[in-house]
Amino acid sequence: MFCKLTREDHRELVKLKGSVGNAIRDHMSQTGAVESFYNKITGGTGACENIPTAFILQNTPQLSFLSQTDQLSMEAEILEFGIDAVWTVGRSFRNEPRAGDGRHLAEFALLEYEARDMDLSGLVEFQQALLNVVMETGLRSPIISSDHKERLKRYLKTPAEVISYSDVIKRLNDGGVSINWGDDFRSDIEEMVCLLFNGPVQVTHYPESIKFFNMHRTDRGRLEEGLPIELYNRRRYTVECVDFLLPWAGETFGASRREEDYRTLTVKLRESRMFKQMAKIRADQVGSGEVTDEIAKAAWEPFVPYLELFNPEKHPERKSVQRSGFGLGMGRLIQFVLGSTQVVPF
């Protein structure tokens, strides 16, 4: 699809995107989530989704980036102001070398959501409900073929399979697919998983070693410092997360329960590949390329306000606040609704 769209097709695609946006806004309002808005020029905390693809701005007083995510700012709002849930749709900028391959874009609309008092099971339910709203909206669009509408109706009748990463790995290995525990899923693997279950799939509990530093650790024992990735994987450490894989589009929602332990957040941020990449970028931009103590301290400073949200000496009550959230690529969402082989610019 999208090889040769007619003028009428383009018109209906614009209307579909608008209808999906309106349906999501209505759903969020009905659930009590507050729409919020964020700056698109940011320091480290807004560019930490995928550091190698960050757009670095020139001629700014401090090292600045085009935003990739508003997640950490949103978490701060629900904690500081006692808001139950916030959501936003903003631009996410990625200096993506694979842009144009049908799956990746250099700029796209990213819907993000953060909520208090929500655990992983609540997150799974919320994502399914939101997807249902979008599929119902798609059924009213004339641009979607009758065959694909029948598929969407089938997906609406049966909620997506919910399965752990470990169980997916076992199913794939048993079927002759070579993949190791600890490997991230490539797009072809995501397609296989959707084929295995004949529709959308919510995959939970990915390895801790490959996920973002503030995803809630499933193993609640004291975090050891300096563990190599191989040891994380050997011990099968996971996080309370869920990726919603959709046919045609692959990973469309990336979600997790958020970590609230101050020491865990501090240690995992300091040891994360993401932070080391951030420090190296700063060293390359403002120094000789060597990550000195001074450079590392400067790279750390943008994250301090976020970390201090969980300082037990200042906020002991926050250790009992469960938080969860997700990021949702709108282009891939529309790709799924259309049954398209191409991600849809949104």
Question: How much is the pLDDT for 301?
Answer: 94
What CATH number belongs to 7-338?
3.30.930.10
Residue 2 has pLDDT above 60, yes or no: no
Question: How much is the pLDDT for 166?
Answer: 98
Question: How much is the pLDDT for 5?
Answer: 74
- Answer with the residue of higher pLDDT: 281 or 328: 328
Taking Cα atoms as reference points, which of 345, 335, 11 lies closest to residue 190?
335
Question: How much is the pLDDT for 7?
Answer: 87
- What is the chain's percent helix, strand, coil content, to nearest 5? 45, 20, 35
- Name 124's bridge partners: none
Residue 3 has pLDDT above 70, yes or no: no
Considering the entire predicted model, what is its pTM? 0.94
Tally the C-alpha atoms within 13 A of residue 76's C-alpha that lie toward its C-beta: 14
CB atoms inside a 10 Å sphere around CB 77: 18
Structure letter (DSSP) for residue 192? H
Mean predicted confidence (pLDDT) in 6-29: 95
Average model confidence (pLDDT) across the chain: 94
Question: How much is the pLDDT for 34?
Answer: 98
Question: How much is the pLDDT for 44?
Answer: 85
- Answer with the residue of higher pLDDT: 217 or 222: 217
Instruction: Give the whole-angstrom CA distance, residue 326 versus residue 185.
Output: 18
Assigned token pair, 225: 């410092």
Left (φ > 0), alpha (ψ -120 to 50) or beta: where does 198 sit?
A: left
Mean predicted confidence (pLDDT) in 161-186: 96
pLDDT tier at 259, thresholds 50, 70, 90:
very high
Ranges of beta strands (E only) in the chain are: 34-35, 41-42, 65-66, 85-93, 107-116, 161-164, 201-204, 241-246, 250-257, 323-329
Structure letter (DSSP) for residue 199? S
Rg (CA), the chain: 20
pLDDT tier at 150, thresholds 50, 70, 90:
very high
Residue 201 has pLDDT above 70, yes or no: yes
Judged by DSSP in three states, 245 sits in strand
Q: What's the Cα-to-Cα distance from 124 to each of 182, 201, 239, 246, rounded to whole Å?
A: 22, 11, 14, 14
Instruction: Give the whole-angstrom CA distance, residue 104 versus residue 86.
Output: 26
Mean predicted confidence (pLDDT) in 327-337: 97
Question: How much is the pLDDT for 58?
Answer: 86
Q: What's the Cα-to-Cα distance from 4 to each of 9, 141, 287, rounded to whole Å?
A: 9, 18, 49
Residue 98 has pLDDT above 90, yes or no: no
Q: Check if the beta carbon of residue 197 is closer than 8 Å to that of residue 158.
A: no
Question: How much is the pLDDT for 214?
Answer: 96
Q: What's the Cα-to-Cα distance from 134 to each of 23, 55, 341, rounded to whole Å?
A: 7, 31, 19
Question: How much is the pLDDT for 222?
Answer: 85
Residue % of the chain over a pLDDT of 90: 82
Q: What's the Cα-to-Cα distance from 180 to each of 171, 183, 219, 245, 250, rounded to whole Å?
A: 12, 6, 21, 19, 19
Q: Check if the beta carbon of residue 330 is closer than 8 Å to that of residue 109.
A: yes
Question: How much is the pLDDT for 4?
Answer: 67
Residue 1 has pLDDT above 70, yes or no: no
Mean predicted confidence (pLDDT) in 171-194: 96
The residue extents of the domains of the chain are 7-338
Q: What is the pLDDT of residues 20-62, one digit of tens each?
A: 999 999 999 999 999 999 999 998 899 888 898 999 998 888 8
Q: What is the pLDDT of residues 281-313, one digit of tens each?
A: 989 887 778 999 999 999 999 999 999 999 999
Assigned token pair, 322: 């469960």
Assigned token pair, 202: 């919510």
